[in-house]
Chain A
Amino acid sequence: MRMLLCLAMVGLGAMSVGCESSEVASESQVGTETPGSQFVLDTEPDGALAVGEARQAIEDGQDVTLVGLIGGSSEPFVDGLAAFTIVDAKVPYCAADEGCPTPWDYCCESEAVKDNIATIKIVDESGSPVAADARELLHVKELSTVVVKGKAKRDDLGNLTVASSEVFVRQN
């Protein structure tokens, strides 16, 4: 009888250990889940427009899918908010062998950038910009190619801003 009791206790102990290890595993799975993944899409949206084309065709308030490279100035990211500027892929930037330390500022093509740049801000459900660094939130960096889906904001001066909560990051 005592032997049976001991076996039962050992069995229970083994089960509880098993349960603990299972919890740890599930916690670590949650931990490895990419932060900000609610804004990151797994599949690329169809029908993305280039930035230059969108600046010509898109109306204020229209839904749009836009593709471009993060850049346009030496600091394309906004510190403290998930926002950045993207440039049309047709605008060339300095090649790596040219030795330019910040090729994403398009210093040799500043005139072309003016008509081929858009601002992307990542917004939450209420439409407010997310107070986080976009680099950490979306795992992007300068010259990353992104496809963003959102609502366009245009003004009479041609400025284009897209408020988006869906971003696909292309692997360059």
Chain B
Amino acid sequence: MLLPWEYGVRNLARRPSRTALTLVAIATVVMLVFVVVGFIRGLERSLAVSGDANVVLVYSVNSEENIENSSIAARTPSLLAASLDGTVKRFGVTHVSPELYLGTRVRSEGDTEGLGLVRGVERTAPLVRRSVKLVEGRWPGDGEVIVGRLAAAKLGSSGDALAVGKRIEFEGREWNICGRFAAGGAAYESEVWCRLENLQTQTKRQDLSLVAMLLSPGRLSAEVELFCKERTDLELRAIRETDYYGSLQQHYKPVRILAWFVVLLVSGAGVFAGLNMMYGAVAGRTREIATLQAIGYRRRAILLSLIQEGVLLAAAGSILSGVMALTMLNGLAVRFTMGAFVLRIDSVAILIGCGVGMCLGVVGALPPALKALRAEVATSLRAV
């Protein structure tokens, strides 16, 4: 015969302080798991959505994988457009985007200064970077910039400081913010975009960092790669944008492995904390457990009731943390070396967080309950 369901529920309410403390402990552990898993999922998502399979990036062969260090001749875009016929061309506009990309100190209003990512672009940029959408304001004119949705997080400044109409300063010049853009969570969202010729003038550079090309469906990026191999004098290399961000995924693999290790450590620590709590909770109920055995309840029934209490508490803690994570953590911007991304509390994060929480309930309740049940009934009944 099993103990009534209400017995376990009522037991939780009988010791409100202890129950509340255990609930907070479990909720904290689950919240930590949510933070770390949300970080990993956000980073992965940011890199996954940043690439377009039809876009090929052409940059200097000497810069290895770091586009910021790339320097290619200004004539490269016209050379590529003239030599390769696989690029999308509509209404007389070839979808080739010459870009100058650099990391530089950006000062926003309120004297906040941070290392920002600035991209000098032409009007063809949104034709190639198809996820980019102006959400406020207009395309930049002379001395103007548009800022990405996550640029404030990257710069460590407030969102208000980068509002349309405000001014920022970089490369020895003040720039008016005339618009804001989103890119579906892609890496560009942490960047500041201005006109290419303005950035070239300010940096006293005539070269480019890269050329992004949108290929027609069915055309191979290998054709661009072959062109780069044939023109050894240009010292170019071509890579599909998805492969570029795929290589960054590999680059950040140690970070992700470390983060998963942190999830394991936090979960392990949580299990020990839960064990400690449950040992305390069960130790104070030795007489009660012995009495239940004396009036005829089997050990298995009592064990199930104790696990039920632990699981109820863990489920409540997991739900509490889940709600808090979804309302407070989800979408929170995080600054990172490559820019910024948002914490992502998705179904996987919820599953892992709540799974860890439930494990805490079961694993935490099991050993102390077994220990209490192993004691002699007569001895336990005399326990103080």
Residues of chain A at the chain B interface (Cβ within 8 Å): 72-73, 75, 78-81, 83-85, 114, 117, 119, 121, 129, 131, 153, 157-159, 161
Chain A residues contacting B283 (CB-CB under 8 Å) are none
Q: How far is the CA of A31 from the CA of B318 in the complex (A)?
A: 58
Q: Residue B220 at the A interface, CB < 8 A?
A: yes
Q: How far is the CA of A129 from the CA of B220 in the complex (A)?
A: 12
Given known A-B contacts A73-B61, A81-B220, A131-B220, A159 and B226 have beta carbons under 8 A apart: no
Q: Residue B223 at the A interface, CB < 8 A?
A: yes
Indicate if the CB atoms of A78 and B232 lie closer than 8 Å.
no
Q: How far is the CA of A126 from the CA of B42 in the complex (A)?
A: 48
Indicate if the CB atoms of A79 and B232 lie closer than 8 Å.
no
Given known A-B contacts A85-B229, A119-B232, A79 and B61 have beta carbons under 8 A apart: no
Indicate if the CB atoms of A80 and B221 lie closer than 8 Å.
yes
Chain A minimum-CB-distance residue to B61: A73
Indicate if the CB atoms of A78 and B233 lie closer than 8 Å.
no
Q: How far is the CA of A155 from the CA of B231 in the complex (A)?
A: 9
Q: How far is the CA of A75 from the CA of B231 in the complex (A)?
A: 15
Q: Tell me, rounded to whole Å, the shortest Cβ–Cβ distance linking B291 to chain A.
A: 70
Q: How large is the interface on B (under 10, 10 to 19, 20 to 34, 35 or more residues)?
A: 10 to 19
Indicate if the CB atoms of A158 and B226 lie closer than 8 Å.
no
Chain B residues contacting A119 (CB-CB under 8 Å) are 226, 229-230, 232
**Extra contacts besides A79-B222, A80-B220, A119-B226 (14): CB < 8 Å:** A72-B232, A73-B237, A75-B237, A79-B225, A80-B221, A80-B222, A81-B220, A83-B222, A83-B226, A83-B229, A84-B229, A119-B229, A159-B231, A159-B233
Q: How far is the CA of A94 from the CA of B303 in the complex (A)?
A: 68
Q: Between A and B, how many residue pairs show CB distances below 8 Å?
A: 45
Which residues of chain B from 280 to 309 have any CB-CB distance to chain A below 8 Å in the complex? none
Q: How far is the CA of A165 from the CA of B120 in the complex (A)?
A: 44
Indicate if the CB atoms of B229 and A129 lie closer than 8 Å.
no
Chain A minimum-CB-distance residue to B233: A157
Indicate if the CB atoms of A158 and B233 lie closer than 8 Å.
yes
Chain A residues contacting B237 (CB-CB under 8 Å) are 73, 75
Chain A minimum-CB-distance residue to B222: A80
Q: How far is the CA of A129 from the CA of B219 in the complex (A)?
A: 13
Chain A residues contacting B229 (CB-CB under 8 Å) are 78, 83-85, 119
Chain A residues contacting B232 (CB-CB under 8 Å) are 72, 85, 114, 117, 119, 159
Q: How far is the CA of A117 from the CA of B233 in the complex (A)?
A: 11
Indicate if the CB atoms of A78 and B225 lie closer than 8 Å.
yes
17 contacts between A and B (CB under 8 A): A73-B237, A75-B237, A79-B221, A80-B220, A80-B222, A81-B222, A81-B223, A81-B225, A83-B222, A83-B226, A83-B229, A84-B229, A85-B229, A119-B229, A157-B231, A159-B230, A159-B232
Chain B residues contacting A85 (CB-CB under 8 Å) are 229, 232
Which of A72, A117, A121, A157 lies in contact with B226, CB distance below 8 A? Answer: A121
Q: How far is the CA of A73 from the CA of B220 in the complex (A)?
A: 21
Q: How far is the CA of A112 from the CA of B221 in the complex (A)?
A: 29
Q: Tell me, rounded to whole Å, the shortest Cβ–Cβ distance linking B250 to chain A.
A: 15
Chain B minimum-CB-distance residue to A85: B229
Chain B residues contacting A79 (CB-CB under 8 Å) are 221-222, 225
Indicate if the CB atoms of A78 and B61 lie closer than 8 Å.
no
Q: Tell me, rounded to whole Å, the shortest Cβ–Cβ distance linking B225 to chain A.
A: 5
Q: How far is the CA of A119 from the CA of B222 in the complex (A)?
A: 14
Q: Tell me, rounded to whole Å, the shortest Cβ–Cβ distance linking B211 to chain A.
A: 18
Chain A residues contacting B230 (CB-CB under 8 Å) are 119, 153, 159, 161
